Amino acid sequence: MKKLASILASLLLASCASTPSISYYELVEDPSKKNEQATSDGITIGIEAVQLVDAIDKKGIMLETNEGEMHVAQYHRWRRPLHESIRQFITNELNGSASNYRFQPHSTTPGSWSYRIQIEFDAFYGTENGNSIVSGFWKLIDAQDETELEKKRFLYESEIEKDGYSGLVEAQRMHLRMLSSALAQAIP
């Protein structure tokens, strides 16, 4: 509760300032790893474009009030489109953890893929009482015959450990690592 109170207090202070500064946040901790691919000659798996429901597909970081209202932060924004940042984060995590597979972003040639992963998010926000929520579903599809091999819903919720928006972003990274781990375990 204290953590979100500091987020809300920073929102109020930002709204009172005459020329508020905008802070930008990035999920990918090392942007130089953009499009990192494992060097393995193993199976190639495509990560399709990440889908976000309209309610969370915003430039600003999202917060939900105790009344269930969603607010977009005006002065705390994503550095690049959220769907791109999420896809890159997951691709990097998977390439760093699964040595028998090579994960490629959706922009590469799908003809070389053995499998493809579709991910859709319906929640990616912080709450007024200090939690981070990330949820949606993913599908693993055989790219050769288009058979859906597995479909799972995911929900990750945890208390934000550090104050402010940077604490929320860190919790969201943790949830994306958990999702990446679940995806890696699902691949045959």
pLDDT score at 5: 57
pLDDT at position 135 is 97
86 strand-pairing partners: none
CATH number of 2-26+40-186: 3.40.50.10610
Phi-psi label, residue 164: left if phi above 0, alpha if psi -120 to 50, beta otherwise:
left
DSSP H or E run through 36: none
- The pLDDT, as a whole number, for residue 100 is 79
The per-residue pLDDT for 38 is: 46
For the chain, 188 residues long, give each residue's pLDDT as a single digit of tens: 566 556 555 655 555 556 789 999 999 977 555 444 444 567 889 999 899 999 899 999 999 988 889 999 999 999 999 999 999 999 999 988 766 788 888 766 667 788 999 999 999 999 999 999 999 999 999 988 899 999 999 999 999 999 899 999 999 999 999 999 999 988 87
Concatenate the DSSP letters of all residues of 46-64 into one string: EEPPPEE-GGG--SEEEEE
Tokens 């105790």 correspond to 66
> Pairing mode, if any, of strands 60-64 and 115-127?
parallel
The pTM assigned to this predicted structure is 0.83
The encoded tokens of residue 36 equal 């990192």
pLDDT, residue 36, reads 47
Spell out the alpha helix ranges (H) of 78-142.
82-97
Give me the residue spans of the domains in the chain: 2-26+40-186
In order of 67, 73, 120, the CA distances from 60 in angstroms are: 20, 5, 19
pLDDT of residue 11: 55
The rounded distance, in Å, linking the Cα atoms of 71 and 92 is 30
